[in-house]
Amino acid sequence: MTPHAETLGKARTAADFAAVIALLDTDINDAVVRRRALEQAEDRAVFGDGDLAAARAALDACNDVITLLEKTICVADTRRIDAAESEARADIAALGDEIAAKAATLTERWRNAARLVELLRQELFEADALVRAIATANGLFDAASVAELKINLTAARRAAMAGARA
């Protein structure tokens, strides 16, 4: 029991406790097998084949070991559950920190997008002013009968929009 008690004392994580519980389960299975053999020895001693007092003392000692192992497993399982819950809380807290960082990044991205939209709106207003100026000049060129100086706005727009798209 001592090596397992030391291991149990050193256990901190749910996996550590599960490993100790597995060792204790092996010990309790061995003790149950030993108890069966001691019960048979007691039965033989009742009929005169062996020392009845020694057989009963050994059986009582084995039962005490089994009881102790059962209690130890129960306590270890409780501590394993507590450790698992603590680990889950730590994982949730870490996830909360990660999500908070992502939220800050998202805020910055939205801020950048809003700035770019405002820049785009300004560019569009300036482009619209240029379109009006070119359209006015095109009207003047038509009136002056110099159509070769006219700018085709549709062709200019197509040329500007040509190229790869995201």
Of the candidates 97, 17, 54, 125, the residue with the CA atom closest to the CA atom of residue 105: 97
Which pLDDT band holds residue 164 (cuts at 50, 70, 90)? confident
Instruction: Note the pLDDT tens digit of each residue in 105-139.
Output: 999 999 999 999 999 999 999 999 999 999 999 99
123/159 Cα distance (integer angstroms): 17
Instruction: Note the pLDDT tens digit of each residue in 10-31.
Output: 889 999 999 999 999 999 999 9
2-10 vs 52-143: helix crossing angle, rounded to 10: 20
> Can you tell me the mean pLDDT for 147-164?
89
> Can you tell me the mean pLDDT for 146-151?
92
Is pLDDT above 70 for 166? no
Instruction: Note the pLDDT tens digit of each residue in 132-147.
Output: 999 999 999 999 999 9
Mapping DSSP to helix (H, G, I), strand (E, B) and coil, where does residue 7 land? Answer: helix
Which pLDDT band holds residue 6 (cuts at 50, 70, 90)? confident
Which pLDDT band holds residue 161 (cuts at 50, 70, 90)? confident
pLDDT at 73: 93
Whole-number Cα distances in Å, 91 to 19, 33, 60, 87, 110: 21, 42, 46, 6, 28
> Can you tell me the mean pLDDT for 69-94?
93
pLDDT at 54: 93
Cβ contact 73:28 at 8 Å: yes
Cβ contact 21:80 at 8 Å: yes
Burial zone of 55 (CB within 10 Å; 0-12 exposed, 13-18 middle, 19+ buried): buried
In this prediction the pTM is: 0.57
DSSP structure class, residue 150: -
pLDDT at 2: 60
Is pLDDT above 90 for 165? no
